[in-house]
Amino acid sequence: MTSHRPILFCCTHSTGQATSSLVLAGEFAARGVKNLWFASDDNHRAAVAGLSGASEVGFVSTGPVNPRVAPTMWDDETYRSITQRSRWKGNRARLRQLMDPVHHADRFRQLDAAVQRIQPALMVINNLCIHGIQVAMKRGVPYVITGSSLASDIWQFDLPDDYPVPYSGLPRRMNLRQRIGNRLFRHRNLLSMLDPALLRTVGAMLKATDELGLDRRQLQQRAWMEEAELVLCFSVFGLDYPFPHPPKLQMVGAMVPPLPQNPVPGETDRWLDAHPSVVFIAFGTITRLTKAEVRAVVDVARRLGERHHVLWKLPREQQRFLPPAAELPANLRVEDWLPSQYDVLAHSNVRVFFGHGGNNSFHEGIYFGKPSLVRPLWFDCLDHAVRAVDSGVGLSVAPGTMDPAEIHSKLTALLDDTSFRARAEHFAQIQHEAGGVRRAADLILRCAAVTSAGQDEQPAVQR
């Protein structure tokens, strides 16, 4: 592979955001692209070290994970306030928690120093890594924005007036009540910024912006997208509702690495081989189930009986809520860790995916043609839930609910009604045709080639 000036991938501490960035960087390493770097918080150091293939990927630390902005580290009170039923109150609580000017300025300075040292020809930045985008803008480094979010989330600054407001969980075709609710949700979100605590935080953010030498325009999503060389969305229209957009917004489908990730079959693989109809359950790394909710899922497995088996990825700390092992139904297998969720979803015996509707899991399940039951955790998950229903790939249950009878009924419908699988396989084909990680890498390398043209090769940077 022809040598390029450095390419720097950037993302935050978030496991969900890092997943797609790591798959993409791994594709570059497998192709033998030289001078690759990956900037993130320290929790991703080991994952980046594991990417090295035909070429190495250097790691740039932006610091240890800040518990304030890491949902897996929140106390229960904070978690409940942000995942509450009221969507706009939850959003206000989320902004109060995540808008941290001191943290943002620290991450900016750490990354800015690395960029001046590495001198990348191109930065590939997750759409939620705001400090990464702002460093690129300040230093005049060409950049590509990537996002596993829906396109309407990435491009929310320029959506039609009648489009569902991101995180509203409303459909594209709305009745009068829903249209009114859509407008109210937009206005209430704007009014939430008048909250005294948020006003103080915004003031501190503006002050920090000035101290960092940034133009205040660089706080705006519109400016980020307009100055990007390319914006890659890891979704497809049809799952998201189409809207007018410029050519630089490219839909490439889910980021899925070469499979199998685990070439040596393990005990779980042999279990899947032995059971022809499996429901896979995984609610991500953030969801915190209560004892009653854990027991409800066990009841669902029991109701599915001998016809269907259940593989449930349940964090170890939540397994304390399970009944004694002797009381678990025989068709239920519980694991706290799986070598590869991709390999599980790709297995032919997995017939339905029951999850929280996160950006990655929503698209990955459909990428493998699996009908989905979505129990949305929050914000973006609400939008995925309604799109699963509207696209015909799945069903949903209300956030915060875990009624065994309802879930059993909807899982049974997904298992027995072949139209759900047909629609899921239809959108699986569309995602495959969109090109996935290979097309994303091709598009980025074209940008890198253009931005490097006519520039002298830089000396290697000590890793």
Domain ranges of the chain: 7-253+435-452, 267-432
State percent of the chain over pLDDT 70: 96
Residue 458 has pLDDT above 80, yes or no: no
Instruction: Output the six-digit token pair for 10.
Output: 């950037």
Across the range 423-434, mean pLDDT stands at 98
Among the four given CATH numbers 1.20.1250.20, 3.10.20.740, 3.40.50.2000, 3.40.50.1220, the one describing domain 7-253+435-452: 3.40.50.2000
Given a contact cutoff of 8 angstroms between Cβ atoms, the answer to whether 373 and 354 are in contact is: yes
pLDDT of residue 52: 80
Three-state secondary structure string covering 56-114: CEEEEECCCCCHHHCHHHCCHHHHHHHCCCCHHHHHHHHHHHHCCHHHHHHHHHHHHHH
Model confidence at 152: pLDDT above 80: yes
Residue with tokens 């450095």: 6
- Give the pLDDT confidence score for residue 232 in this predicted structure: 98
What CA–CA distance (Å, rounded) separates 29 from 36? 8
| Structure confidence by residue, pLDDT tens digits, 397-427 | 999 999 999 999 999 999 999 999 999 999 9
CB 255 within 8 A of CB 444: no
Look at 2 and 275; give whichever has higher pLDDT. 275
Q: Does the pLDDT value for residue 69 go beyond 80?
A: yes
Position 64 pLDDT exceeds 70: yes
Residues facing 278 on adjacent strands: 309, 350
Give the chain's count of helices (H) and strands (E). Answer: 18, 13
- Residues of the chain above pLDDT 90, percent: 90
pLDDT at position 454 over 50: no
Residue 450 has a pLDDT of: 73
pTM above 0.75, yes or no: yes
As a three-state string, the secondary structure of 256-306 is: CCCCCCCCCCCHHHHHHHHCCCEEEEECCCCCCCCHHHHHHHHHHHHHHHH
The fold adopted by the segment(s) 267-432 is Rossmann fold (3.40.50)
Quickly count: other Cβ atoms within 10 Å of residue 136's Cβ: 30
Q: Which two tokens stand for residue 314?
A: 């349940």
Say how far residue 100 (Cα) sits from the centre of its chain.
21
Helix, strand, coil shares, percent, the chain, to 5: 50, 15, 35
Q: Assess whether pLDDT exceeds 80 at residue 273.
A: yes
Q: How many angstroms separate the CA atoms of 135 and 111, rounded?
A: 7
Residue 170 to residue 157: CA distance in whole angstroms: 17
Instruction: Quote the CA–CA distance of 393 and 421 in Å, as a whole number.
Output: 7
pLDDT of residue 295: 98
Tell me which DSSP letter residue 37 carries.
Answer: E
The pLDDT of 112-120, averaged and rounded, is: 97
Average pLDDT over residues 357-370: 97
pLDDT tens column, 191-230:
888 899 999 999 999 999 999 999 999 999 999 999 999 9
pLDDT score recorded for residue 399: 94
| CA pair distance 409, 416, nearest whole angstrom | 11
The average pLDDT across 94-121 equals 96
- Digit-coded pLDDT (tens) for 317-331: 999 999 999 999 999
Mean local confidence (pLDDT), 176-189: 94
Q: Kindly report the number of other CB atoms within 10 A of residue 267's CB atom.
A: 9
Beta pairing class for 143-147 and 122-126: parallel
pLDDT at 3 over 50: no
pLDDT at 453: 55
Write 203-210 long-range contacts (CB < 8 A, 24+). 204/101, 205/99, 205/101, 205/104, 207/101, 208/101, 208/102, 208/104, 208/105
Name the region of 351 (left: φ>0; alpha: ψ -120 to 50; beta: rest): alpha
Q: Which residues contact 72 (CB under 8 A, 6 or more apart)?
A: 15, 285, 286
CA 206/CA 229 separation, integer angstroms: 26
- Let me know: does 356 contact 341? Beta carbons within 8 Å: no
pLDDT at 108 > cutoff 90: yes
Picking from 445, 456, 354, the residue whose alpha carbon sits closest to that of residue 407 is 354
Tokens of 218: 């660089």
pLDDT tens for 370-402 read: 999 999 999 999 999 999 999 999 999 999 999
Beta strands in 154-239 (DSSP E): 230-233
